[in-house]
A and B are shown apart, each in its own frame.
Chain A
């Protein structure tokens, strides 16, 4: 039974955590793709930027969280979301809009977004340094909940931490909110129209500049949420972005590029694939040790890849999808 608890802790909980973070990030990438038709490489750095803003705000107002009963970073998150959205809109105005006006190829936009990535990275590291920093400052502590299993054989509890619970709740809120926004509001419908056929949308009187700005606001806000929750779960590292970029793109492509619901599914597929691949399956075989052939029972490590190869997993999913189903599981656009 302990083995099952171990499995739940290491795969179900950890997979949902990474899955949620990838999903929230991938929604942004997918939205930007469907409106502006280029792969936005600076997305992971917008996440880092949002987290950095949370860090600064938490440093500036340390005691706020205690008054509300939530961790201070979570209280500061809405403000950071606004700041990140502002940054996203500003970056678009300064760097992408002139290029769009010139009518450049999408790949040139991709290169421009690489330039933005590097500038953001340089600035953040210039101010934040390169070391890891904990978002729990000034005496706040991560709450850890231990759920005891109601079975005789299970002596170990299932462990969930406070940021993880907040993460799950926020993911649900984001997904439901996005769904309502896209289906119920005028703006959301206009966005979908523009994603389906930009020329037709423009001809029917939709203000494209407006839609583009809204897209950046949503993508920036979601990026701030994903980055902050990741940083709360582990720590804030200014050089995190490159490790996030690949899984997020993998998630967006697996779900079908330009497809918001696909991005959510893709995020969880990639997140679970990562945790399942590095999980040591030998642990689950232990209870059956006596009935197994000796060579299998003796195997100490049955993980598919070592933890150091975790970054490889999203890439393999990506290649597999490219080969077998270039439109993704939800039939998005082929880029």
Chain B
């Protein structure tokens, strides 16, 4: 051992070892798998897979901040993805003249003003006790006022939105470039995250999981049923790309260009996170995660830091959701599923190694490949089983094998979660923490 002394204070994170053998082997294996997919499935399909994996990597980085850095379990990634996708749709779709050319925007504005006014009124009523009204009476007044105003406002809003739906379809977008939607999507997701975090972060983590699961369903229900805003189940397509589309460049080249955009985004996020992680801020976050009480004793504002982390993660999820929606070029509120957009991301994070950014990116790509490939594999197995059953026992195989093979994905993801928790609880690339004795 060298006894070299340095003036620099040592970080509690281990310095990278001289040769990162584990990383090289894992990423090498991943590269081989990707090349294999390229060879079997063709370059257009495989590039598409990589772009989607890259978008998922952004989501996974968002979750790894929350779960890996701070131990917050967000079970509502889907909701933030949906918000990012919605903002992207709203900003990038061309404006709808059938809506903007009539008096409808004015009426919608008036209805929204009513909404704002009644929120203010109810908020004012909750402050009545300052004027000497007894507290019980104040609560009663506030609740009754809220119920009555809610019913009035909702019926006004219903009539306006009904009018919009019947005359203009939906209000259309703003016709701005796609990336503006990504940014706003991130901001929107962060704002909602702030709201949830404010309520739930002080409680035990199970509550946060349930609450985020619920809020994701609510966001989906809202986007699905607000036909005037999102066209609901009728879906909006095509969403414009930030890069030249396949019609001008061909599928492979256009997708490769998109891939480079997402790769740059990941690189920037990775760099920023890496810096933050090794900065005093990162040290503080880890201190809070590992020993909350002593961190609080050191004068760290625990709840504030937790909220900061939670919002930061949500912002990344919003941005990733926007990028994913633009790439798929369709906004379909029904297409957001907890399985595809929450649990898949969760598996990526826990398989790759929560708290390790490189591991998270590895996990995102690896799990996405497993996820995509488990369906054809299951179909192959099922066809084999059906052929054997028919030949040997004279079975009649059910006709909808294809739709059932899709369910194999669900099973594979569930199995992955439990296996990783059991056999590699730190992930394949664990976070390197050096503990000084």
**Which one of A121, A306, A312 contacts B414 once the chains associate, using CB atoms below 8 Å?**
A121
Q: How far is the CB of A298 from chain B (nearest CB, A)?
A: 10
**Which one of B209, B225, B400, B415 contacts A308 once the chains associate, using CB atoms below 8 Å?**
B225
Complex Cα distance, B73 from A106, in Å, reads 11
A115 close to B224 (CB less than 8 A): no
**Is A318 an interface residue, CB under 8 A from the partner?**
yes
With A299-B155, A315-B218, A318-B210: A122-B404 Cβ-Cβ less than 8 Å: no
Q: How far is the CB of A104 from chain B (nearest CB, A)?
A: 7
**Is B204 an interface residue, CB under 8 A from the partner?**
yes
With A129-B404, A309-B225: A114-B346 Cβ-Cβ less than 8 Å: yes
**Is A207 an interface residue, CB under 8 A from the partner?**
no
Q: Which residues of A contact B39 (CB under 8 A)?
A: none
Give chain A interface residues in 281-335, CB to chain B under 8 Å. Answer: 299, 301-302, 304, 306, 308-309, 311-312, 314-315, 318-319, 322-323, 326, 334-335
Complex Cα distance, B417 from A258, in Å, reads 27
A39 close to B411 (CB less than 8 A): no
Question: In the complex, which residue of chain A has the Cβ closest to the Cβ of B398?
Answer: A129
B410 close to A122 (CB less than 8 A): yes
**Is A95 an interface residue, CB under 8 A from the partner?**
yes
Interface 0/1 of B191-218, CB less than 8 Å to A: 0000000011001111101110111011
Q: Which residues of B contact A121 (CB under 8 A)?
A: 407, 410-411, 414
With A114-B346, A309-B221: A122-B407 Cβ-Cβ less than 8 Å: yes
B225 close to A246 (CB less than 8 A): no
Q: How far is the CB of B281 from chain A (nearest CB, A)?
A: 24
Q: Which of B29-37, B103-111, B169-177, B418-426 sits within the interface?
A: B418-426
A112 close to B418 (CB less than 8 A): yes
**Is A119 an interface residue, CB under 8 A from the partner?**
yes
A interface, how many residues as a size bin? Answer: 35 or more
**Is B158 an interface residue, CB under 8 A from the partner?**
yes
Complex Cα distance, B201 from A326, in Å, reads 13
**Is A116 an interface residue, CB under 8 A from the partner?**
yes
B interface, how many residues as a size bin? Answer: 35 or more
Give chain A interface residues in 82-126, CB to chain B under 8 Å. Answer: 95, 98-99, 102, 104, 106-108, 110-112, 114-123, 125-126
**Is B409 an interface residue, CB under 8 A from the partner?**
yes
**Which one of B211, B213, B410, B425 contacts A245 once the chains associate, using CB atoms below 8 Å?**
B213
**Is A130 an interface residue, CB under 8 A from the partner?**
yes
B414 close to A116 (CB less than 8 A): yes
With A111-B73, A315-B214: A118-B417 Cβ-Cβ less than 8 Å: yes
With A308-B224, A322-B203: A246-B411 Cβ-Cβ less than 8 Å: no
Q: How far is the CB of A96 from chain B (nearest CB, A)?
A: 10
Question: In the complex, which residue of chain B has the Cβ closest to the Cβ of A319?
Answer: B199
B410 close to A125 (CB less than 8 A): yes
With A99-B422, A106-B206, A110-B209: A115-B417 Cβ-Cβ less than 8 Å: yes
**Is B338 an interface residue, CB under 8 A from the partner?**
yes
Complex Cα distance, B421 from A95, in Å, reads 9
**Which one of B154, B206, B413 contacts A39 once the chains associate, using CB atoms below 8 Å?**
B206
Complex Cα distance, B150 from A253, in Å, reads 26
**Is A38 an interface residue, CB under 8 A from the partner?**
yes
Complex Cα distance, B205 from A319, in Å, reads 15
**Is A145 an interface residue, CB under 8 A from the partner?**
no
**Is A61 an interface residue, CB under 8 A from the partner?**
no
B418 close to A119 (CB less than 8 A): yes
B73 close to A335 (CB less than 8 A): no
Q: Which residues of B contact A335 (CB under 8 A)?
A: 203-204, 206-207
B206 close to A38 (CB less than 8 A): yes
Q: How far is the CB of A249 from chain B (nearest CB, A)?
A: 5
Complex Cα distance, B204 from A334, in Å, reads 8
B71 close to A118 (CB less than 8 A): no
With A107-B73, A125-B404: A117-B414 Cβ-Cβ less than 8 Å: yes
Question: In the complex, which residue of chain A has the Cβ closest to the Cβ of B224?
Answer: A308
Q: Which residues of B contact A181 (CB under 8 A)?
A: none
Q: Which residues of A contact B221 (CB under 8 A)?
A: 308-309, 311-312
**Which one of B206, B224, B409, B415 contacts A107 once the chains associate, using CB atoms below 8 Å?**
B206
With A121-B414, A304-B150, A315-B215: A110-B73 Cβ-Cβ less than 8 Å: yes
Complex Cα distance, B194 from A18, in Å, reads 33
Q: How far is the CB of A267 from chain B (nearest CB, A)?
A: 16
Give chain A interface residues in 218-274, CB to chain B under 8 Å. Answer: 242, 245-246, 249, 253
B214 close to A119 (CB less than 8 A): no
Q: Which residues of B contact A322 (CB under 8 A)?
A: 199-200, 203, 207, 211
Complex Cα distance, B156 from A301, in Å, reads 11
**Which one of B151, B408, B409, B417 contacts A111 once the chains associate, using CB atoms below 8 Å?**
B417
Q: Which residues of A contact B407 (CB under 8 A)?
A: 121-122, 125-126, 130
Q: Which residues of B contact A120 (CB under 8 A)?
A: 414
**Which one of B75, B210, B222, B411 contacts A118 once the chains associate, using CB atoms below 8 Å?**
B411
Interface 0/1 of B292-330, CB less than 8 Å to A: 000000000000000000000000000000000000000
Q: How far is the CB of A52 from chain B (nearest CB, A)?
A: 13
**Which one of B214, B215, B398, B414 contacts A314 once the chains associate, using CB atoms below 8 Å?**
B214
Complex Cα distance, B75 from A38, in Å, reads 15
Interface 0/1 of B332-345, CB less than 8 Å to A: 00000011000100
Q: How far is the CB of A241 from chain B (nearest CB, A)?
A: 11
Q: Which residues of B contact A104 (CB under 8 A)?
A: 421, 425
Task: Offer 12 A-B interface pairs, CB within 8 angstroms, sorted by A.
Answer: A104-B421, A106-B205, A107-B73, A110-B206, A112-B417, A118-B413, A119-B411, A122-B409, A129-B404, A319-B199, A322-B211, A335-B206
On A, residues with C-beta under 8 Å from B are 38-39, 41, 95, 98-99, 102, 104, 106-108, 110-112, 114-123, 125-126, 129-130, 242, 245-246, 249, 253, 299, 301-302, 304, 306, 308-309, 311-312, 314-315, 318-319, 322-323, 326, 334-335
3 closest A-B pairs by beta carbon, nearest first, are A122-B411, A118-B414, A115-B417
Known: A114-B414, A304-B150, A322-B211. 15 other contacts (CB 8 A): A102-B425, A106-B206, A107-B205, A111-B346, A112-B421, A118-B413, A120-B414, A125-B410, A129-B400, A130-B403, A242-B338, A246-B210, A309-B221, A311-B217, A322-B207
